[in-house]
Amino acid sequence: MLPWFDNDQFPLYLAPMARFTDIVFRDFCKRQGADVMVTEFVQADALNRDDPKLWETVDFTEEQRPMGVQIFGSNPTTMAQAAQLLHDRLRPDFVDINFGCPADRVVCMDAGSSMLRNPARLGEVVRAVVKAVPETPVTAKIRTGWDDDSIVAKEVGHIVESEGARALAIHGRTKVQGYSGDANWPVIAEVAAELTIPVIGNGNITSAADVIRIRETTRCAGLMIGRAALGYPWIFRDIKHALQHGTVPPPPSIQQRWDTIIDYTRQIMARPFREQRHSDLRWMRPKLIALTKGIHGSRRIRGELTQVVQIEDLERVAQHHIEQFGEETVAGS
């Protein structure tokens, strides 16, 4: 058993989200109570070619453990090679295989969610990776299926388990659904009840109440939170508090939220990210917009954030907003 599932700990995972769950964001989520984290996905072939951008993406700190690094690809040999490289260089707590990404550029190379249409190949990939890194646990993340007519989570779950993976995260949507519509929790619950390995449920969890309800009604061993954490990383704190004490603490004030956003921005700018070559904030705008989602007046702020270039511009947006709404609080996104 992976130690973070011992004694019914019910770990909360921060979902991997490409371009958003960077090393600084993960630090903040960890401090708020995220138990397990996974890097954004990286292409196995590109890791093997030693692309420095990717090594930056999979970087993590000791405090962030248990940490998984997520890889995607469709070739068992190159996937195994990438896993070995990761083990040798970073010693992650687990290597996670992405079988869920719906993006065209990933599906085109028969990787991500495309593998759900080829369970035999998917099994070969898991087997090869497990064999390549005997000291590092291997896990997988899937969707329920390609579309409503091909829900394969159960079949694929059994394959993943029998090939030696140690946990399975299920995003309860199909590839065709993308990121909209309801997550299919009955299917997740069914797979969680059947498999021996821990199943981590994922899809549209937005509150502590969701977590408590899912914990009570399914055999998921843990849950994974995605977009709700982007706009409100305090969700981990809220859930932990609710699980322990039955109540949700008051949300941070708008002032506190801006302090966090500006601190986050400064930390990102201080890192030697490759995008930093322009030394301005333009490339960070999507991250900043995500972080302000749900704040009072976020629509107007969004417009202003699409103009920020320097940290001073961001501080001005914050100041203006705090003057208007500083004392207000709002939970969730």
Q: What is the 3-state secondary structure (H, E, C) of 141-208?
A: EEEEECCCCCECHHHHHHHHHHCCCCCEEEEEEECCCCCCCCCCHHHHHHHHHHCCCCEEEECCCCCH
- In whole angstroms, the minimum distance from the beta carbon of 153 to ligand FMN comes to 13
State how far the alpha carbon of 214 is from the alpha carbons of 181, 206, 268, in Å: 18, 12, 35
The token pair at 51 is: 């692309």
Q: What character string, x for contact with ligand FMN (CB under 6 A) and - otherwise, covers 200-219? A: --xxxx--------------
The residue (of 15 and 254) whose beta carbon lies closer to ligand FMN is 15
Q: Taking each helix axis as running N to C, give the angle between helix 235-245 and helix 23-32, from 0 to 180 degrees, rounded to the nearest 10.
A: 20
- In whole angstroms, the minimum distance from the beta carbon of 226 to ligand FMN comes to 3
* Residues with active-site annotation: 101
The residue (of 235 and 314) whose beta carbon lies closer to ligand FMN is 235
The residue (of 157 and 203) whose beta carbon lies closer to ligand FMN is 203
The residue at minimum Cβ distance from ligand FMN is 226
Does 70 bind ligand FMN (CB under 6 A)? Our answer is: yes
Does 40 bind ligand FMN (CB under 6 A)? Our answer is: yes
Instruction: Select the residue interacting with ligand FMN from 127, 171, 215, 237 (CB under 6 A).
Output: 171
**Cα–Cα distance measured from residue 277 to residue 21, given in angstroms and rounded to the nearest whole number:** 20
**Cα–Cα distance measured from residue 128 to residue 26, given in angstroms and rounded to the nearest whole number:** 29
CA angle 67, 259, 251 (to 5 degrees): 80
Residues 259-318 that bind ligand FMN (CB under 6 A): none
**Omega before 66 cis (within 30°)?**
yes
Other beta carbons within 10 angstroms of residue 109's beta carbon come to: 15
* Choices 10-18, 266-274, 298-306, 322-330; region in contact with ligand FMN by CB under 6 A: 10-18
* Choices 11-19, 22-30, 152-160, 187-195; region in contact with ligand FMN by CB under 6 A: 11-19
- In whole angstroms, the minimum distance from the beta carbon of 253 to ligand FMN comes to 25
Which chain residues interact with ligand FMN by CB under 6 A? 15-18, 20, 40-41, 70, 98, 100-101, 141, 171, 179, 202-205, 225-228
